[in-house]
Structure formats: C-alpha cells, structure tokens
Structure 1
C-alpha cells in the first residue's frame, strides 16, 4: 500500500506538474520532422538508457491483418515494459524483438544481450539482432528483414517528414513518421501506409546493472496504442498512457499524405466490455478488452468515433503486454468508416 501511495504522489508531481511545462509534442507534431540526427541506437550510452525502433503496418490482407516489428534497446525501468527475468547479465544491455501477425502461430519474441548477440552502427544504418532481424535506417529509406521460425518479412519504407510526437521533452523523445511501404510477408506481396517509429529515453535504470527493484520502477501502469488506416492516404494514431490514474498521454494524431498533421487532445477512450483475462507464460493475468470505444472532438465538432471488437489472436510480447487486431465501425468527419486496426495493450494497474 505504501508503495502505491508514493508512486501516486510521484505520478501527480511529474504528470500534472512538470510534464506540461517541458513537453512540446503538440507543437512539434504540426511541423515537418527536421531532426534525423537524433535517430541513433545509443547501445553503448549510459545517458540515453533506452532506444526504440519500430515498424508497424495496421491493415495487411487476411489472414495476416497487421505486422508489428518492435524493438527495445536497454531496460526502461518502468512497470509497463520491463521483464526482469529476461534481463542480460547487465540489465542495461538487454534488447528485445517482438514481431507478429494475426495469422496462424506467427509470433516471435526474444531477448538479447546487445554486446554479444547484436550489432549496431551508431548512425542506425545497420542494426542487427543475431540472424533474426535486420533494420537499415537511411532516411527517407528504411529496410526491414525478418527471418523468424514462423514467418519471413521483407519491407521497404519511404519515410515522409510527417511526424507525430507522443512525447517530446529533454529526457524523452518518442515519435512516429508516416511511411508508405511495399514488400512481402512470407511470399505475399503487400503495400500501403505504415509507420516508422523511434524513441530515446534517459532513465534511472542506466545507473545500475541490476534490474530496478519493483518499488523504484516508474509507475506507468496502463498503455494502449492503436493504428488505423481510414483509407489509402489517411492514418490515425490513438494513444492512452496512464500512471496511477493520471493521464500521461491521451491523443489522436491524424496524418494524410502530403498534408499537415492534425493533433487532438479532446479524446475519450473506454472499454465497454471485458472478456476472460489473458494469462501469460508465467501465470500472470491481465484484463482482456472485448469491445472498445473512441471519441475525438475538436471544440464542439465530432471528428472521429470508433467502436471496436477485438477479434484476432492476442500475441504476448509487448513487455508484459500484448498486440492484436480489431474490427471497427464508426464515423470520420460524419462519413461512415469501417475496417481493421492494430492494437497494443499493457494493463498492470493495481487492483
């Protein structure tokens, strides 16, 4: 109980007090991306303790539905994303790869020691996780090659300067760049709108080689991130992140190829129905949403409403959380929309 009281006080101080003063995510998201030099792996850094490279495709054809390629370099020191039992000898050298689709058993998750299993160049042009995953970043070009036991991935992305910042502060940058893609999943040719993502974080975990004790981990305890392609040119990013009941990020980013990004913070998210809990490979339960609802408003105008039904396999691997897909219906600027969306879900809120 004392731990939760302390973490609630810390969440209130950081999220309500400090974050609004230093976070420039809304302003930066409405401008072209002009900082490619920040995209580095920081694998030998003790200043930037965590880096993240990700490539996400939300609407592959059936039966795949989506593709995620998510990597973390370093341990975060947060409740949301750390799996201490997978930590390298030095927790700061831990890296993970999570990739999956909704088809069959196509789910890959593995932890690595960055200094024995991986190879990264400082400019991110060559990132290698054993023989499993290669990502080459030379903006505006990104190439992804995955060779997993269950499936193969080959994608080329043409990254635009249309950026969405989830966080932009002196100690944490987390951004997404709209990125048309083409390639293959297995032998199936695919193309459309994807997203290339990058983050770098200064974390207290960088001070010690041992995993941060549970009582000292940052108390982020709920996270959902969802990607929807409303049509072949329009992509929506929906985010809800919380810490002991405080909202750290609840935003809707709307990107249309060739236009300025729109960002909305009058956003409401709710789970309208839960199903049986998810149980991970160590017996830990997590609440499983079955139906969800989003509402996005701009002043008195309704921009977007969505009702989603979770109807794809849940893939364990987002730290202690999951990725999956859902079918949605709704309205976009008063016009009906429907389709399939990508969802990430981590819920470790105290009960």
Structure 2
C-alpha cells in the first residue's frame, strides 16, 4: 500500500503543490496512468458521480478488464462516467495511441471525453447522448495526502476538491455544486501481482468532513491492508489501520462479469474500528443496488449509511468501488471459517502499509 506522506515531507522533497498535483501522461517506464474525480454525496437522482480514466491494463487481477481491451492491454484506455441512474454507455474504451491525445495539461479521448488542467482548476467534460457533463474542479489549499509505492515503481496523490458545473441526463440539465476527491496515479508495467479483492468507499458528511474506507486482499484472502481515514478541515487527519473490520453481511445473487468471473456484490456491510474492546467507529451501510461494471475488473455504486463515531451519529449517501476476483470458496465461506484468514502465506509484493 502507498506510504502516506505529510505536507512537511512534501516540502522536504522540494515538491510544491503545482508539481505534486500534475497529471503525468504515460511516459518512459510509467505505462499505467489513472485519474479520478469522485463526488460521493449528490442530490437525487444522481446520489454520486465519478469520472475515471485508466490508460493501460495492469497485470493485477482486480485491475485487468479483458472485455475492454481494444488492441493490446497496454494500449487500452478506458473512461468510466457513472451516477446512480442506469446508462448504457457509461464505460468507453479507446486505443491510447490511435484515439487519444495525452499531454501534461490535458487528456483527450476522441471527441467524447476531455480532462484539462489549468492549475489550481481541473476540467472534466463528456459529450454523450445519454449522460454528459461539464465540470470545473478546484482543489483545496493543502495536499491532504501524497504517497508513493516503495522502490519508485509508482506515484500516487489525492486531494479534497470542490466541483461546480452541469450534468445533462436524458436531455435534462442539473446543476452540480459538491465536494469530493481528485486522484491521480501512475505506475510502471509491473509483473503479475496477486491482488484479488479491493474495495474503496467514500462518505462526504459535509464540506468539512470526509471519510475514506478501503481494503485490499490477496488470492488467499489475507488482508494486505484495511483502513479508515478521516479528513477534517478543522482537525488533523485521523487514520485507523489496526483493529479495523470490514464485513459483508448480505450479498446480492451471484453474477457473472463481462470478463466471465463469478462475483457476489455486497448488499449490506459494516465497517468497525475498536480500541480496548470499545467501538470507536461503526458504519452500517446498505447498497442501493445501482452497481455498474467498468471500474477495472469490478463495479461502482452507492449506498445509504448510518455512522456512529466518537459518540456522534451521522446519516447519508456513500460511494463504493468493489472488485472481488477471489475464488468462490473465499467469497462463500462461512463466518466460522474466517479464522483461516489469519493463517500466514508467504508472497512477495511491492506494497506495504
């Protein structure tokens, strides 16, 4: 997992904000490039909105979407734009060499998808008959987190942002004014890494308080990391990464993905963090059932939640990314079998907490 770096560490590396928040296109060894705008808490009918592009298909099960490959895996670029309502063309696939123009200040995918940088503003535009958008994104004054994989094989940053603009859905226009998160990552074309389960979830309680929840597992169902990150403009970031539990208590009927994998998607799930046998954080969530395929090898959707944190309660809408490429016996195992998760398995990988 990327090592979190503070703003002070960024200054020690002589990185100012404009350098750190650059959208680097594919170049040299860095063949894989990812960027995402996520707005997790929008009014009806949208509930959430994402605008995610991935250039190149990594050799990692949770990232590899064979059904989207147009020419070769490394030449394939995908752009995913979704909200809660159903759309047909939410995922679009391109040849990076033949159909895209990728520069340090703008990415153009045919005449459909366009991402432009004019720091500190970012512009995301999609032209589509069913769902289109014109969005202006302004980043916060401080980088909330900047990280990199060890050995210099990848760079990653994300920052809180505010988004204004317009979404057109089935020829009806809606104004957007919301807070969210902006992310960018790039990596070398790594050899195969057996990451088989990943979930990434965001709840935006208000403009000043954002919570990111994530978990990564390998093919043996061992947890690589499980973490809860709470970002507030008024307080320092709080990170829970020990004694964190993510548990799916109900699932939807088994589905088959466009890649031919069988997968269970979560219907009801819980996040919990405890200290000294006392529950500090507990999130109970229920999916809206609006999952859409196209987030790498998995799905995106939204959920409603009830949160108890530091003796305060919150309710609202959250955003969920969910990819489960584990063998079915891990997906279907009984709760009494979960002790197996604690059995150590040796496996080299390039990430660490």
Q: The TM-score by the shorter chain falls in which range? A: 0.7 to 0.9
Q: Is the 8 A contact 1:164 1:253 kept in 2?
A: no
Alignment correspondent of 1:201:
187
Q: Describe the SS at the equivalent of 2:43.
A: coil
Alignment correspondent of 1:191:
177
Q: Which moved more, 1:264-273 or 1:161-170?
A: 161-170
CA distance in 2, matches of 1:255, 1:81: 27
Q: Is the 8 A contact 2:34 2:53 kept in 1?
A: yes
- Considering only aligned residues, what root-mean-square deviation do their CA atoms show, in Å? 2.4
Q: Cα–Cα, structure 1 residues 332 and 148, in superposed 2: closer, same or farther, change >3 Å? A: farther
Q: Describe the SS at the equivalent of 2:313.
A: strand
Q: Which has the higher helix share?
A: 1
Task: State TM-score, norm by structure 2.
Answer: 0.82
Q: CA deviation at 1:49?
A: 1.9
Which residue of 238, 251, 257 maps to 1:262?
238
Q: Is the 8 A contact 1:50 1:76 kept in 2?
A: yes
Q: Is the 8 A contact 2:211 2:231 kept in 1?
A: yes
Which residue of 125, 136, 150 maps to 2:116?
136
Is residue 2:18 matched to residue 1:42? no
Alignment correspondent of 2:217:
242
Which residue of 273, 276, 282 maps to 1:296?
273
Q: CA deviation at 1:310?
A: 0.8
Q: Cα–Cα, structure 1 residues 36 and 190, in superposed 2: closer, same or farther, change >3 Å? A: same
Which residue of 319, 322, 327 maps to 2:296?
319
Alignment correspondent of 2:249:
272
Deviations 1:273-300 (A, max 9, x none): 1220233345532112111000134677
Q: Gapped runs of 5+ residues in structure 2?
A: 329-353
CA distance in 2, matches of 1:270, 1:94: 34
CA distance in 1, matches of 2:9, 2:274: 21
Q: CA deviation at 1:314?
A: 1.1
* Residues paired across the two proteins, number: 315
CA distance in 2, matches of 1:107, 1:332: 38
Is residue 2:232 matched to residue 1:232? no
Q: CA deviation at 1:320?
A: 2.1
Which residue of 46, 68, 73 maps to 1:86?
68
Task: State TM-score, norm by structure 1.
Answer: 0.82
Q: Gapped runs of 5+ residues in structure 1?
A: 1-18, 206-216
Q: Is the 8 A contact 1:49 1:75 kept in 2?
A: no
Q: CA deviation at 1:164?
A: 3.2
Q: How do 1:96-115 and structure 2 match up within 5 A?
A: 96-105=78-87, 108-115=90-97
